């Protein structure tokens, strides 16, 4: 749907690129993408957006209009000529899309000409931060909803066209379907929808509105029952229509509750439906749902079959953003770090590999080990700051998480469907022990450094501190 031009970036990327162009245009750099804190005070995140990034990077260009526009910022002619021919020809090593990821370890690494890797920073952060946020939110809602059906219906409250990518990420995080037609079409996500209050209001009579809708709707018929009075009018009228449908060999698919006390109304609605012999009619609930409300509804055994989630899903409330960063870790083959007053914010130098430790039961052990990419194996890992803590790694399987997915600007992996990514994510999440998934004070997924990486990092810190 959206053609993203290379000018979808921050102006300072171009200002810096011009300086590189004039002083060291052949320089090579390595940047790490990672975040510092799990979203929603949770115990993990779901990495999403990689597929879009690979497509965007392959086709990224400045348009003629972009180049013309940049003249007013005083860029020089030779640099503008460079931009006109700009292509991204770098290498990307990445975690798999849909994988479970954690703070303060590289999730993706970009390597290539300094100007190229700098210019793509913004779009990369823009797409990965947002989709990772939403996929994680979706995953939390899925955790509360168990096997119930989850429907994304947030487009009207989404951040303009960001809603398109929200739907993609929601599907990766575990949503079954979406109301967003364009995203459903482009990403091959099941589409779904019910009816609006205005439809019923357009009739003098709720029953007639239901009858017309049931007769002419395209697919599964869901009737919205709370326009006037849920239990006195909406549900009884829906039952009348359901019985009429039965006579012509059809089945009413469901009724939707969109206001009031959902637990109470769902229970009363279920009773009325069952009493009418309509135990197959599903109950859809919506209205400001999130992982906490759904958890509460489940704990109350509200007989809801389908949850429709909007605002809280697509805006990633309350966080609204994932603070993913893109930090220089190598420049012309030399390791680089970013210091900080806050020790946890000191970055890790050089090209790295992240190993996920798998325990004897095949489950995620609860820690990742990070080493230099040149290290074939890591036998022992060390706490990043606490010198008293280390762990022998012999007994673990070690799964390398970062794989080359793009080389010289060409994607190396086939384009994955959203459902494939979602399926992979589900399988990976099943390997994560429950204590990392709970909402209250989840367990911290730890990190350890190889001796070589720790020594290098410590040496660079000392060098800079002098």
Report 116-135 residues binding a copy of itself (CB under 8 A): 118, 121-122, 125-127, 129-131
Is 31 near a copy of itself (CB under 8 A)? yes
What number of other Cβ atoms are within 10 A of residue 36's Cβ? 13
Is 446 near a copy of itself (CB under 8 A)? no
* Residue 133: both structure tokens together: 């946020």
* Residue 153: both structure tokens together: 């219906």
Is 61 near a copy of itself (CB under 8 A)? no
Is 290 near a copy of itself (CB under 8 A)? no
Place of tokens 């997924």: 445
Is 27 near a copy of itself (CB under 8 A)? yes
Is 90 near a copy of itself (CB under 8 A)? no
Residue number, 7 or 269, with CB nearest to a copy of itself: 7
Instruction: Enumerate residues 6+ apart whose C-beta is below 8 A from 55.
Output: 411, 415
Helix (H) or strand (E) holding 458: helix 451-465
Residue number, 20 or 445, with CB nearest to a copy of itself: 20
Instruction: Give the residue from 354, 452, 411, 341 showing the smallest Cα distance to 32.
Output: 354
In contact, 2 and 163? CB cutoff 8 Å = no
Shortest spacing between CB 181 and a copy of itself, in angstroms: 4
In contact, 285 and 266? CB cutoff 8 Å = yes
Near a copy of itself in 308-347, by CB under 8 A: 311, 315-318, 320-323, 326-328, 331, 336-341
Sign for the pseudo-dihedral over CA of 200, 207, 191, 170? positive
Near a copy of itself in 376-405, by CB under 8 A: none
* Residue 103: both structure tokens together: 């703070």
**How far apart, in whole angstroms, are the C-alpha atoms of residue 382 and residue 456?**
13
Shortest spacing between CB 180 and a copy of itself, in angstroms: 7
Is 292 near a copy of itself (CB under 8 A)? no
Is 293 near a copy of itself (CB under 8 A)? no
* Residue 187: both structure tokens together: 């990403």
* 200-203: Cβ within 8 A, 24+ apart: 200/224, 200/227, 201/227
Residue number, 10 or 359, with CB nearest to a copy of itself: 10
* Residue 375: both structure tokens together: 């290290």
Residue number, 334 or 376, with CB nearest to a copy of itself: 334
Is 439 near a copy of itself (CB under 8 A)? no
In contact, 437 and 37? CB cutoff 8 Å = no
Residue number, 66 or 111, with CB nearest to a copy of itself: 66
Near a copy of itself in 195-214, by CB under 8 A: 195-199, 201-202, 212-213
Residue number, 17 or 393, with CB nearest to a copy of itself: 17
Is 271 near a copy of itself (CB under 8 A)? no
What string marks each residue from 221 to 260 as x (binds a copy of itself by CB under 8 A) or -?
Answer: ------xx------------------------------xx
- φ, ψ of residue 403 to 5 degrees: the values are -125, 150
Is 4 near a copy of itself (CB under 8 A)? yes
- For a copy of itself, the binding residue among 34, 165, 175, 253 (CB under 8 A) is 165
Shortest spacing between CB 296 and a copy of itself, in angstroms: 20
Instruction: Give the residue from 235, 183, 237, 244 showing the smallest Cα distance to 208.
Output: 237
What does the H/E/C string look like for 13-31? HHHHHHHHHHHCCCCEEEE
Shortest spacing between CB 336 and a copy of itself, in angstroms: 5
Instruction: Enumerate residues 6+ apart whose C-beta is below 8 A from 19.
Output: none
* Residue 415: both structure tokens together: 């384009």
Shortest spacing between CB 358 and a copy of itself, in angstroms: 33
Near a copy of itself in 345-364, by CB under 8 A: none
Region near a copy of itself per CB under 8 A, out of 93-101, 161-169, 351-359, 451-459: 161-169
Instruction: Give the residue from 416, 423, 404 showing the smallest Cα distance to 55.
Output: 416
Is 78 near a copy of itself (CB under 8 A)? no
Is 164 near a copy of itself (CB under 8 A)? yes
Shortest spacing between CB 380 and a copy of itself, in angstroms: 29
**How far apart, in whole angstroms, are the C-alpha atoms of residue 192 and residue 188?**
12
Is 77 near a copy of itself (CB under 8 A)? no
Rounded to the nearest angstrom, the gap between the alpha carbon of residue 392 and the centroid of all alpha carbons in its chain is: 33
Shortest spacing between CB 260 and a copy of itself, in angstroms: 6
Shortest spacing between CB 179 and a copy of itself, in angstroms: 4
Is 8 near a copy of itself (CB under 8 A)? yes
Residue number, 199 or 439, with CB nearest to a copy of itself: 199
Instruction: Give the residue from 362, 372, 432, 446 showing the smallest Cα distance to 399.
Output: 362
Rounded to the nearest angstrom, the gap between the alpha carbon of residue 135 and the centroid of all alpha carbons in its chain is: 3
* Residue 27: both structure tokens together: 């320089």
Near a copy of itself in 177-196, by CB under 8 A: 179-182, 184-185, 191-196
- For a copy of itself, the binding residue among 29, 223, 284, 401 (CB under 8 A) is 29
């Amino acid at each position: 749907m959206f053609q993203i031009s290379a000018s979808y970036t921050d102006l300072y990327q171009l200002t810096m690129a011009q300086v590189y162009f004039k002083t060291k245009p052949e320089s090579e750099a390595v940047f790490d993408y990672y975040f510092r804190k799990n979203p929603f005070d949770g115990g993990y995140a779901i990495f999403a957006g990689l597929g879009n990034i690979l497509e965007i990077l392959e086709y990224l260009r400045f348009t003629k209009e972009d180049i013309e526009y940049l003249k007013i910022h005083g860029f020089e002619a030779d640099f503008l000529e460079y931009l006109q021919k700009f292509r991204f020809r770098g290498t990307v090593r990445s975690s798999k899309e849909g994988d479970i990821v954690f703070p303060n370890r590289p999730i993706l690494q970009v390597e290539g000409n300094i100007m190229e890797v700098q210019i793509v920073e913004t779009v990369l952060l823009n797409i990965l931060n947002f989709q990772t946020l939403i996929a994680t939110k979706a995953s939390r809602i899925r955790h509360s909803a168990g096997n119930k059906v989850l429907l994304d219906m947030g487009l009207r409250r989404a951040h303009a066209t960001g809603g398109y990518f929200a739907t993609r990420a929601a599907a990766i995080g575990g949503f079954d379907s979406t109301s967003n037609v364009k995203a459903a079409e482009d990403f091959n996500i099941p589409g779904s929808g019910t009816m609006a209050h205005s439809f019923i209001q357009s009739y003098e009579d709720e029953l007639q509105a239901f009858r017309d809708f049931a007769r002419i709707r395209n697919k599964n018929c869901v009737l919205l029952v709370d326009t006037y009075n849920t239990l006195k009018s909406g549900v009884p009228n829906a039952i009348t229509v359901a019985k009429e449908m039965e006579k012509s060999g059809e089945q009413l698919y469901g009724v939707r509750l969109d206001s009031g006390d959902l637990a109470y109304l769902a229970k009363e609605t279920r009773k009325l439906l069952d009493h009418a012999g309509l135990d197959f009619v599903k109950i859809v609930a919506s209205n400001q749902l999130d992982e906490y409300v759904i958890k509460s509804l489940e704990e109350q055994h509200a007989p809801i079959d389908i949850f429709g989630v909007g605002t809280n899903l697509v805006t990633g409330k309350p966080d609204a953003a994932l603070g993913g960063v893109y930090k220089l870790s190598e420049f012309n083959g030399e390791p680089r770090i970013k210091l900080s007053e806050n020790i946890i914010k000191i970055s890790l130098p050089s090209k790295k590999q992240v190993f996920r430790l798998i325990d004897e039961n095949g489950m995620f052990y609860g820690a990742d080990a990070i080493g230099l990419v040149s290290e074939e194996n890591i036998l022992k890992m060390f706490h990043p700051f606490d010198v008293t803590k280390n762990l022998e790694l012999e007994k673990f399987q070690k799964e390398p998480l970062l794989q080359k997915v793009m080389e010289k600007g060409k994607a190396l992996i086939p384009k994955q469907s959203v459902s494939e990514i979602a399926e992979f994510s589900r399988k990976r999440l099943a390997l994560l022990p429950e204590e990392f998934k709970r909402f209250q004070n989840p367990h911290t997924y730890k990190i350890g450094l190889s001796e070589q990486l720790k020594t290098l990092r410590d040496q660079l810190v000392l060098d800079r501190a002098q």
